[in-house]
Structure formats: structure tokens, C-alpha cells
Structure 1
Amino acid sequence: MTTDHDSATPARLVDRSRRLGADPRNTNYGGGNTSAKGPGRDPVTGQDVPLLWVKGSGGDLGTLTEPGLAVLRLDRLHALAQTYPGVEREDEMVAAFDYCLHGRGGAAPSIDTAMHGLVDAPHVDHLHPDSGIALATAADGPELTRRCFGDRVVWVPWRRPGFQLGVDIAAVRRANPQAIGVILGGHGITAWGDTSDECEANSLEIIRVAEKFLAEHGRPEPFGPVRDGYQPLPVEQRHQRAGELAPLLRGLASTDKPQVGHYTDTDTVLDFLARERHPQLAALGTSCPDHFLRTKVRPMVLDLPPTAPLEQTAARLRELHTAYRADYTRYYDEHAEPGSPTMRGADPAVVLVPGVGMFTFGATKQTARVAGEYYVNAINVMRGAEAVSRYAPIDEREKFRIEYWALEEAKLARLPKPKPLATRIALVTGGGSGIGRAIAHRLAAEGACVVVADRDADAAQRVAAEIGGTDVAIGVHADVTDAAAVRDLVRSACLAFGGVDLVVNNAGLSISKPLLDTTEADWDLQHDVMAKGSFLVAKEAARVLIAQGMGGDLVYIASKNSVFAGPNNVAYSAAKAAQAHQVRLLAAELGAHGIRVNGVNPDGVVRGSGIFAGGWGAQRAAVYGVAESELGAYYAKRTLLGREVLPEHVANAVFVLTAGELSHTTGLHIPVDAGVAAAFLR
């Protein structure tokens, strides 16, 4: 792409970008872009040519790497300005960027590429700081910009991002040689400099001066006084109510397509929702294109205090959801043109519940979380604008032009096909080792968000960390024999991801003793963990599954021993038989809710098993008269296929049962035993 003599320019650009992106006061996740211009070697002619390095489409400044830069020939980009057909056809210019790429060109150029290339400065930053957007969305933004910066920063009226905006800013730069940057109406800021350090310093000057101006000139309580009865609930009550509401809200937000949820109860959100003016401000929606694309035209806002009865709150949320969908359909119908993309969905991306917090939704946990972060940015913007003026975001028509932009639709079309378990939230008990660990890894690899539950909290958290960050998996301590602990476990899943779709009852232990040596305590412990534990988990999970109204899966990891009678194993095998019959009973009961209940019957999973490592292996080896180290091979020899069963084989069965191909199967037990004729199902 480039040669050694020009490598310092993109390296410095990446360093600057990461510094700017690391501070949320400067820009939001995935928002903004930076650029640098410099010479590069044309490998064909051997001559230096002018190049532009600019953050590519879809990247994030805080985590930018050099492969995330688009690299273009600056002379060819400037030549586009001579053939630019005008604002009515400016979308055509994005395809023309491909003809300006240097070599393979690196990342895909973003819509803001023209702004970076046409502005006559070696280094350019375009950012979305809350303080800058507050001025950009104030009703008297031009005057406030003049008061705040003098002639050092210039106001540019709102224009949708694109080639024409680049032309406009380039003209402002030429006409105002004293200026270090601009405030883009309704949008954000752009700054420039002769060096990378100067450009960064100019960006930070605009942001910090705007922050100081808002602090010094803003009036107190711009959102109005606290409304009586709308104060935040105490933390425990707040999280209890959030856990109760999350499945209902996720089900509503998934009316058109399944969504993953995220819950936020920061002081910023709770204070906004406690204030008298939050309903009318929230109705205005967000303004910055990056904010708006992730939060939709406006949030759905509950108009009841947090102390309202749960039944009343739930009923009102359903009414508001119906009204939201009707209003969104009106918004689409009113602004759609013959060539507009079809409506993508009428459900809210942001739901605000006074006293409780904010629920956000998206196709992934990260998307849902980032939508929440953007709405926090929007609250900060509204606070700043209202403190010194009146919040006046771009109008609905402009919002629609961005949301249903053909270029945005093309970007969505380039996204990879979702994995089979995308948007599904899995809860795996006994997930800290062995079969549970393998199941958690497999479900996450197939696209699910996973709650790894285990009575060994360290093991649960270790497995979750193996899988990835908290956008993919969390580890939770849980004793499945304790009803309160199980309720807390399911609530943790709801607070983390919005609900539950797929529950794997895998937690277990085994005590191998002859009948006469089996104590009452042995029997009780065995049944408490597996028979009772599975019942408690299924019961709490069913509450959530029914509240969501999205169907779901319960999978029991039973055993070959649930149907096969072996010696010295009465407590374990009886508990497994109880689990196996729970599958049949719950399949019959929950089918009306679209909830499928199935089981997996493994045999002799020795490798990686917490049960076998905890003494069960030594006990069973003694029963069969073999060395413990040979137990896996012993089990394999007695099967029809002659193969050892591994945790991953059980995980494969769970995936097959839940991935969609067996959508009409419930009440089934799948043997994963390499063929044990005595355990054939009849």
C-alpha cells in the first residue's frame, strides 16, 4: 500500500486518532474520522504522488489501526471536484472514490472522505463531542458560536454529510484563513492544522472552549425541576424492577425481528428521567447523524412513575409500543419516496423508564450497548443546548433522509450473514467446566450471547473471559438448589442481555455408591442439584420466555443412565431419570408458548469433566475394575462405534437442537453415547 519513506504519516495519524477516540468527551464510539495528507511512492512510475489517509467507513477512532485507513490519490480526489454534478447527484460520488484509491486502497472510504480531501490543510479531524453538538443543535447556534469562539471557529449550516458538505467546508476554510475549524449545524465539529499535533490541539481547543462556555453561561436545571414521584428507585428495587421489565420490553422491541437488549441506569440517565421536561425533549429525538442512526427517530418513553404497580406499568408499555409503531409507520409513509428502501422495522431502539433507567436494543449486544451510549451523548447535548438556548435538532425530513439513505442501505447490505444463533441469549448452568464449558463455547461461536453459571464463581468468570468480553458472555455465581439464587441468576441474564432464549440445564454432580452405602444425605444432595435444580431453573426461565413471547428452548443434559440400569448408582440415575421426565412434562406444558423442551443423553464424558475429576471417575473405575486413567477408553470399547464421547460432542447436540433446523421437535432425547444398545430409547 505504502513504502517505508511515507510510513510515518499514517502511523502518526493512527496515534492521534486513538488519543482523540480514547476520551468520550471528544467523540462517541464509531463516530468521527481523521485524516492526513502526504507523499507516497507510485510503484508503477516510481514517482512520489500526493496521498490522503483517512479513517475508513465503520471504524472506531479509539481502536483504529493502520488497516482501518482508506488510502486515496489526492490529485484524483481533487479532480472529482471538477466533474461533481451537484448536490442532487452527490451520492454518485461515493462510488467514484473507488477510482481514487492508491493500490488496493485499504479500508472502504466513508461518506466524509470528500471533506478531508477537499479542505486545504494537511491534517483534518471531524469529531462528535457533546459540547460541540450542544452548540450545533442550539436554536441560536450561529450567534453562540460567534460568542464562544469569535472568528476562530466558523458556523456551517446543516447539510447532510456528503460531497457538497466537503465543498462547503473547503470554501469556509479558504474564506477564513484565521479559523482553526467549524461548528457543523446539527452535527459536530471539524478542525484542521498544518501538523498532526496542531490539528489535535485545535480539535481539543474547540471542545474544551465549548465545554467552558456551556459551564460558565448555562443556567441551572435546564431539564426543569425534579418531578415528584419520578426520583430513581433505590438500587436493589431499581434492578428488581428492571429485571421484571426487561423481558417484556425485549419482546416488544423484537416484534419485527429479534433483538438483544442492554440496560443503563447511570446518574445521567436517571436524572434526565426524573426531570419535568424530559418527555418533550425526548420527543424531539437526537440530531447528530451518528447518534440518530443508532437511536431511531425518537425513544419510547414510559409516562408512569416507578412506583406504579407492575401490571399497570406492563399494560401501559404495551399501549405505548402500539402507539410508537403507528407513529413510526406515519413517519416512514410521510417521508418515503419511490426509491426509498423498505421500512426496516417500527420498534423502538431506546425505551426510557423513569426511576428505573434506559433499555436499548440492537442486533447484537454491542449494537444495543452503543445505542445506549449514544443516547447518553444525546442527553448531554440536550443539557448543553438547553442551558444556553433551546435544543433544536434537525427536522424529521432530514432524519428520514439519513436513516433511509441509499448509501446507508448499501452499508447494511455489506454486513456478513448472521450466525445461526445470532440475537439468542443462552444460559448454561454448570458452565464452569466440562460439558457446560464446551456448550457455552459452542453456543457463543454460533452467535449467541451466553450467561455462564456455576457455583464456582471463578470458574464461571474464567470461561466467560475465554469466550470474549461482556458483549458476548458473562460469568455468574449460582447455586441451582437455592430458589432465590436462581431468581438472581435469571435476573442477571435479563439485565445483561435483555432476557433469555435458550437454557441448558447442565449443572450436576454424581455420587456412585451401592444402595446400602447410599445415605439419605447422598440422595437429597443428588436430587437437589439435578432434579430440583433443573426444576427451579426451568421455572424461572419459563417466566421470562413467556413474558418475552418469542418462544425459546430448554435443553436438559440428562444421561444414558436415565434409561439404563447400572450397578452402584441409584441416587445419580434416579435423579437423571427425573430430569428426563421433566423434559416430557414441560414439552407438553410449554409448547403452547412456542417453547421447545428437549434433552441430551451422554455417556461417560470423562475428559474435562468436573464430575469425573471430583471423585466420580475413581468410583466408576473401581466399579468396572479399570485404572481411572483408562476409564474413557473403557467406556469407548463398550459402544457400538468404539469411540470416546467428549464434551464437544454433547455441545454439538445442543447446537443441533437449538439452531433452527429442528424447529418442530420437542420432547426428544438425543443419545450422545457412541451407541449403547441397552440405552436405546423405546
Structure 2
Amino acid sequence: MSAVNDLITRSNRLGADKRNTNFAGGNTSAKGAETDPVTGEDVELLWVKGSGGDLGTLKESGLAVLRLDRLRAMVDTYPGVDDEDVMVERFDYCLHGRGGAAPSIDTAMHGLVDAAHVDHLHPDSGIAFATAADGPALTEACFGGRVVWVDWRRPGFQLGLDIAAIKKANPQAIGCILGGHGITAWGATSEECEANSLEIIRGCETYLAEHGKPDPFGDKVAQWAPLGEAERRERAAALAPVVRGLASTDHRQVGHFTDAPEVLDFLASAEMPRLAALGTSCPDHFLRTKVRPLVLETAADAPLADVIAQLQERHAAYREEYRAYYERYATEDSPAIRGADPAIVLVPGIGMFSFGADKQTARVAAEFYVNAINVMRGAESVSAYEPIAESEKFRIEYWSLEEVKLQRRPRPKPLAGRVALVTGAAGGIGKATAERLAAEGACVVIADLDAEKAAAAAAEIGSADVAVGVSCNVTDESAIKSALDAAALAFGGVDLVVNNAGLSLSKPLLDTTAADWDLQHDVMAKGSFLVSREAARLMIAQGLGGDIVYIASKNSVFAGPNNIAYSATKADQAHQVRLLAAELGEHGIRVNGVNPDGVVRGSGIFASGWGANRAAVYGVKEEELGQYYAGRTLLKREVLPSSVADAVYALVGPDLGLTTGVHIPVDSGNPQGFLR
């Protein structure tokens, strides 16, 4: 299995450097012999990266394993380029052993080329050559006959035959530039193949650096110059929910924002509109970025209302143009149109918004468009950028094989595509709620007074594609706006807010000071009002509806002793639910509440002294308080933070979509908390 180990090591090295290939782009292979357990005889095998995998993180399970004799026998039954789909289906009949990944469309290239090791990669520098108007001449000038040009052909069996023939006819060659696509290199050993790949990639980089003009995107446009960082990101946060709402016209999307230097430089350039209209070229690029982006041409400091007006106008035009593109090339066998909204939105002076079904897809779309910018820069610096024809892009975007790949994806979780912000979420009920929402597919913003704890809680849930932590003092309007701005920049907006932040000062009336009263009401009554107001403003801008959930309390309906400040503010929160449900329903925003009781384990409030106080009131030991609360319930079961999280999910999940203005008790059956 040394061939496999060498292949994995080589793949990981190549994939770790984004100069060599983009995320999940390209594929690598190795050939070798292994004993067939059925016949006991050696059989020649091909190990090749399977469909959808990423070289940087490739493991053996991500390889497809095929018998070379059967794969090469397909040459004799190849019906021609009009039946490429049939050939991919036949790969399954060449598989060896159990398990492994599904073979990719590029499998034929690896199997038919007469070399023990083959790399097919998508480096920006190589694609710059591949999309240059005079790519063949550039390839000859840079490499002589050591690297051969191959005219554009859609990936498939015929491309594999073409490259195999070119290698045979050019024994001196180490690889080739694939027009409009990328590079392929080969070698007798894994080390030689990797060295040849890097020679092509670094050779292209060096040629572009030495021969390219310094301003390939033309003069800078003064009104498109980037705003200062603070102003730029404030404008981006204001635009994000509007852009996301439009980009979700057909399917709800999660957003991503970047104002990376290469993006801002491209957006400030005179040639940006022309180049953006040409679209991307490498199949991996436009499959994720769509055929072209939506481009605004507003001044960086234009009034926000003017930018939104142009955005709405151009979005409508984009949808019409995309539908026309589909209708121009679709046949009766084409998959149905997948949605006419843009995946990439470019705003001069501000940055780039990208969208996908989840955060990773949205982020990767942005990375691919940055790759495309690098490609355009390289091609324009030494020639002219000339991507493949629009008709060819359609043939790949709506290829039945791509449709099959999409259908192999796991079924989305119930909250996929939704963004949640939970206050007081670094521990207790808030953390349990954030964990449950993330487990059901939501992206989650952990908002807490303690920024370090918020970040730590988010990291426990998952990567930044799943959860982020932000500092938020819910009594401070500017802090709340900053938290929602952070959510908009991280995920495109917010769909779901849980007002959980709170504290408790348990004192008799005569011991309760005005400061106690004000603090209690500032954090919970005023705080939840402020959070809901800013969240509603954002949700209305998105136009996607939404959910606001208040974590209230049994004490909102039950008059208990020595608890005037806490219970009064919980009653305030409970009525906010009713008031906001009545007001926000016309915007599709549902507002509901949860009334927990006796949540002791994991509770920050109980740990901060409230537990000791309540234990003293009820005449029990503090460590027995949870059992005491359970004992007075109808179900005799302790209420946990996860119990409250379950109720929140029930309210915001797919089953109660017509429910608003209600409170759900989560108290194990406490008659004192019955709603009446």
C-alpha cells in the first residue's frame, strides 16, 4: 500500500497550498498492483481522488479504487462525446473492493494516461494561462515543449483520451495546460509527479510576475475607492440583510462577506464591470459562483437608500438575464433551473457578498471568486482574459452528472439556512439552546457579556462556519447593534433570536433597592426589548420573516415570595411576547415564549447565589434544590437546560409555523405555572 500512502501524502501537501489548487478542486492518482483476494493473483489498480473530496484533507476513504484493465477496456466501447454520461456510469463496473468514494468525471484522465502518477490541479497561475486569449503561445514561450497546450474540452472520457494521446506524442512533456480549465502533470514516481506539478505552477507564476503589466485591471475609479475599514464594515453590515433577502428569493441562503485587499482592488478598477460580465472559466469556479456575479456601480459613499435601490433594480435584471441564459441553452433533458438569484454580489468600495445553502458553501464561493480575480489579473497582465463560451458553461452547470452529485448530498437539517442569535449563551440555558439550534442545522451567534466565554462556547459547538462568539451587553444599544452587525457580516443576517440573557436578585420587598429594581429591569425587560427591536429591524430588511423567542419564567404568572424584582420583570417579558407577536406578524415574524421553572443544573443564575437564596426560602439544602423542585411537580422529573432548549426548537422548527404569541411551560408540570 505504499502507492496509496505516497498518494495521500502528495495530495495533502499539494492541497495545503492554495497556490496549487482551490478547495475541493482537482484530483490526484496512483497506479499499482495488489493481490486480488478472489483469484489470489496480482491485479493492476488505479487509486484516484473521488468526487467532491478535498486534496488538503484527503484520506484513503476519499479514494475511488478501480481495476485498470476494465477501465482501459472502456476505450473499445466508448460511443463518443455525446454519451459521456454513460461512461461515468460504467466506472461503477470497474470498482475494486468495497467502500471508497464515488469516481469523479476526471477518472478517465488518470486511468488512460500512461504514467504511474497523475495530478490534475486548478492553480490560479495555471488557469491564467488557460484562459488567456493566446494561451498556446504563452505556454510555448514559458515552457517550450516541456508543457503542452490542450484545447478546451468538457471534462470526461474524451478529454482523458486526448491527454493520453498528447503524452504519447510528446515523450519529453511533463504535463499540459488545459484550455479554460487547469493543468495536468504526470510522473513515474509520486515525487516526480509532484515536482512536475510544481514546476508548471511555479513556472506560470514566475512568467506572470516577470512579463505581466502592473495594472492589468486598468485605472482606479475614484468613486469606487474603498471606504475606511470601520465605515466600510458598517455599510456592509447594513447592506448584508438586504442582499441576503434578495439572494434568497428562490431558496433561503446563508451569506458571507469579505473585503480582502484583492477584492477591494478589483472592485475599484475601471475594467471590473467588463471582466465581471465575462464570468469565471474553470468549472470548479462557476459551479460555485454561477455564470457571472451581480455587480453594482454605485459610489462607495453613496447614500444607503440609493445603493439599495440599485441593488433591487439590478437583482431583478439579473434574475431575468439568468432565466434567459437557462432558456437559451436548456434542452428537454436538462435539469430544472436551480434558482435565478446570484451567488456573488460585488459592491465597489465595500466588498463582496457570497451565498450558499450553508456557511461553508457561501465562504467557499467567495474563495472561488477570489481565485477568479487572480486568474483574470494574470491573464490580463500578459494577454486578454477569454473564458470558455457561455454555452459550455451551461453544459457543465446543468450537466446531468452535476445533478447526480447534488442529489448525493445529505438531506438538509430542519434549521439549515437559518441564522440564530442567542443572548446570555456562554452557559446554562443559553448555551444549551445554541447547541440544540446548531445541531438542527442553524448557524449560531453566541452573544454574551463575557467575550472570552462566548468565543469558547462557540468553539465547543464547531468551526466559524457553524458558530461565532460576540460580546454583547444587552443594556447597551450600541453593543446590541454591534452584535447584530457581527451576525450580518458572519452569516448575512439573523432569522432567529432567543432573548435569554438575565440575572436574578431574590429579595423581599423591603430589602429590594431601587438599584436592584433598575438592574433587574435593565438586563431583562429593557434588554430583551432592545434586542428584539434591533433584530426586528434587521429581519424586516431581509424580508424573510423570522422568530423571536423569550426565555421568560413560571414566575411571570406565579406570585412567589421574596422575588419582586425578578418576577415583575419576567411578567414584563411575557407581555412583550404578546405585544410583539401582534405587531410583527405582518412581517412574518413570530414571537413566542418559554416559561421554565426549577432549572438548577448548569444554570448561571442559580450558581451566582440565587440557588442558595431559594434553598433558604424553601428550607432545603442548596445541593438538594433541583430534587426539591422536581418533587413538587406532577411529573417528578428535574428540568434541565436542554429541556428548555428542546422547547425553543419546537417553537422555531418546522412543525409550529403557524404559532405565535404563546408561552410554553417547561416545568415538569407545576400547577402554579399553569397558564389561565
1:168 aligns with 2:168: no
Aligned to 2:424: 430
Is the partner of 1:481 in helix, strand or coil? coil
> Any gaps of 5 or more consecutive residues in structure 1?
1-6
1:301 aligns with 2:313: no
Aligned to 1:272: 266
Q: Can you list the C-alpha shifts for 1:68-116, whole angstroms capped at 9, x where unaligned?
A: 0011101111111111111111210111001111112511100000000
1:39 aligns with 2:33: yes
Is the partner of 2:219 in helix, strand or coil? coil
Aligned to 2:310: 316
Determine what percentage of the aligned residue pairs are the same residue.
Answer: 73
Distance 1:88 1:594 in 2: 48
Aligned to 1:681: 675
Distance 2:70 2:449 in 1: 63
Q: Can you list the C-alpha shifts for 1:517-546, whole angstroms capped at 9, x where unaligned?
A: 111111111001000110110011001100
Contact 1:72–1:105 under 8 Å retained in 2? no
Distance 1:660 1:406 in 2: 31
- Give the partner amino acid of 2:549: V
Q: Number of aligned residue pairs: give it.
A: 676
- Please point out which of 486, 492, 500 is paired with 2:486: 492
TM-superposed CA distance for 1:460, in Å, is: 1.0
- Please point out which of 326, 338, 342 is paired with 1:344: 338
TM-superposed CA distance for 1:413, in Å, is: 1.1
RMSD after superposition: 0.6
1:537 aligns with 2:531: yes
Correspondences of 1:407-486 after superposition (within 5 Å)? 407-486=401-480
Correspondences of 1:580-595 after superposition (within 5 Å)? 580-595=574-589
Q: Can you list the C-alpha shifts for 1:493-516, whole angstroms capped at 9, x where unaligned?
A: 000000000000000000100011
Aligned to 1:67: 61
Correspondences of 1:270-669 after superposition (within 5 Å)? 270-669=264-663
Aligned to 2:234: 240
Distance 2:414 2:327 in 1: 33
> Any gaps of 5 or more consecutive residues in structure 2?
none
Distance 1:19 1:645 in 2: 50
- Give the partner amino acid of 1:350: I
Q: Can you list the C-alpha shifts for 1:536-569, whole angstroms capped at 9, x where unaligned?
A: 1001100110000000000000000000000000
1:150 aligns with 2:144: yes
Distance 2:26 2:275 in 1: 25
Distance 1:8 1:618 in 2: 64
TM-superposed CA distance for 1:461, in Å, is: 1.1
Distance 1:106 1:487 in 2: 48
Q: Give the 4+ runs in structure 1 shifted more than 2 A.
A: none
TM-superposed CA distance for 1:620, in Å, is: 0.7
Distance 2:84 2:585 in 1: 54
Distance 1:61 1:332 in 2: 32
- Give the partner amino acid of 1:485: A
Distance 2:328 2:190 in 1: 45
Is the partner of 1:681 in helix, strand or coil? coil
Distance 1:90 1:175 in 2: 24
Contact 2:61–2:99 under 8 Å retained in 1? no
Q: Can you list the C-alpha shifts for 1:355-381, whole angstroms capped at 9, x where unaligned?
A: 100000000100000000000000000
Distance 1:378 1:462 in 2: 35
Contact 1:41–1:49 under 8 Å retained in 2? yes
Distance 1:104 1:173 in 2: 32
Q: Can you list the C-alpha shifts for 1:315-353, whole angstroms capped at 9, x where unaligned?
A: 110000000000001000011011001100000000000
- Please point out which of 110, 117, 127 is paired with 1:123: 117
Q: Can you list the C-alpha shifts for 1:239-282, whole angstroms capped at 9, x where unaligned?
A: 10000000000000000010000001000000000011100100
Is the partner of 2:192 in helix, strand or coil? helix
Q: Can you list the C-alpha shifts for 1:127-184, whole angstroms capped at 9, x where unaligned?
A: 0000000000000111111001100000000000000000000000000000000000
Distance 2:117 2:498 in 1: 54
Distance 1:269 1:138 in 2: 21
- Give the partner amino acid of 1:410: V
Distance 2:285 2:82 in 1: 25
Aligned to 1:3: none
Aligned to 2:14: 20
- Give the partner amino acid of 2:464: T
Distance 2:673 2:129 in 1: 72
1:101 aligns with 2:95: yes
Is the partner of 1:343 in helix, strand or coil? coil
- Give the partner amino acid of 2:64: A
- Give the partner amino acid of 1:508: G
- Give the partner amino acid of 2:110: H
The TM-score, its normalising length taken from structure 1, stands at 0.99
- Give the partner amino acid of 1:315: A
Is the partner of 2:166 in helix, strand or coil? helix
Distance 1:93 1:303 in 2: 45
The TM-score, its normalising length taken from structure 2, stands at 1.00
Is the partner of 1:151 in helix, strand or coil? helix
Distance 1:415 1:292 in 2: 19
Is the partner of 2:114 in helix, strand or coil? coil
Distance 2:673 2:365 in 1: 50
TM-superposed CA distance for 1:679, in Å, is: 1.4
TM-superposed CA distance for 1:237, in Å, is: 0.2
1:87 aligns with 2:81: yes
- Give the partner amino acid of 2:106: D
Distance 1:336 1:648 in 2: 50
- Give the partner amino acid of 2:243: L
TM-superposed CA distance for 1:680, in Å, is: 0.8
- Give the partner amino acid of 2:275: L
TM-superposed CA distance for 1:439, in Å, is: 0.2
- Give the partner amino acid of 2:597: D
TM-superposed CA distance for 1:416, in Å, is: 1.2
Distance 2:543 2:505 in 1: 39
Is the partner of 2:660 in helix, strand or coil? coil
1:213 aligns with 2:207: yes
Aligned to 1:256: 250
Contact 1:350–1:372 under 8 Å retained in 2? yes
Aligned to 1:50: 44
Contact 1:223–1:278 under 8 Å retained in 2? yes
